[in-house]
Structure formats: structure tokens, C-alpha cells
Amino acid sequence: MSPTLMPTLAATPILVGLNDAALTLLATESAVRHFGPDAVIVREGDSGHSFFIIAEGDVEVVKHQGGPHAVLLAELHAGTFFGEMCVIDPVPRAATVRTASRVTVIEINSATLYHLFQQMPDQYAIMILNVARDI
């Protein structure tokens, strides 16, 4: 576990209010991934079982990526997150997320969230309430 993961996780809106034990579980079971510019992190229509916290860099959320009617939905920066709906409701990805710079993300998958639910249901409930507030 990287020492920088805990402060990054604790400052992420979807995880605000979780205690140190819950954040440690998430940090221990998460994966840190690095991408160069113009890389696709998730693709619209693909199945997904992870959400991502942007630790460094910038990404673009695009609908209909590569098509004649591509639409830029959002630009996200360090400290924000995306993909949380796929771990709450297993539906295909609603948009493509591509990097606009070098990017480091923390990937948290649905199995990790299930472990959080099993071990600390009160902490899991806090996270779910944060997701609901974000939506």
C-alpha cells in the first residue's frame, strides 16, 4: 500500500466520512494504475466492475467516442472519481473515459466493496449514502 493512498482516499467525496479501518481496507485491496495521454480507461458499452479515483492528471468523459457525434460530457481532475454506478448497478459503461494528460488512478472493484460490506456494514452504508448524494 502506497503511503499517499490514504490521504487521497480520505479526501475523495465518495469516501468522506469513512474511518481509518475502512480506508485501510480499500487502500489494501485497490490497484494503482498509470496511463499516458490519450489512453482509454473505460469504454462506453463495456461491462464494468470498478470505479476509479483520479490521483493525478485529467480525464475527459465522452459519449459516442470515435463517432461523428462525439460529445464531451465532462472534464475531471485529481480528487474526483468516475465509474461508481457500475459497482452499484452492474450496467454497461455509460461513456468512455479517456486521459487528457498522464493520469494515475486508484481502481476499486466491486469485490472490495463487498468485503467492506461484509466486514464493516456501517462504513459501507456511509459510502452508499455518499454515492446517493453525488447522484
Q: Taking residues 21-29, what's their average pLDDT?
A: 96
Q: What is the pTM of this model?
A: 0.92
Residue 98: is it exposed, middle or buried by C-beta count within 10 angstroms (0-12/13-18/19+)?
buried
Instruction: Give the rounded percent of residues in the chain with a pLDDT score beyond 90.
Output: 82
Taking a C-beta distance cutoff of 8 angstroms, is the pair 108, 29 a contact? yes
Total number of residues shown for the chain: 135
pLDDT at 132 over 90: no
Tell me the helices (H) and strands (E) count for the chain, helix number first. 5, 8
Place of cell 460529445: 71
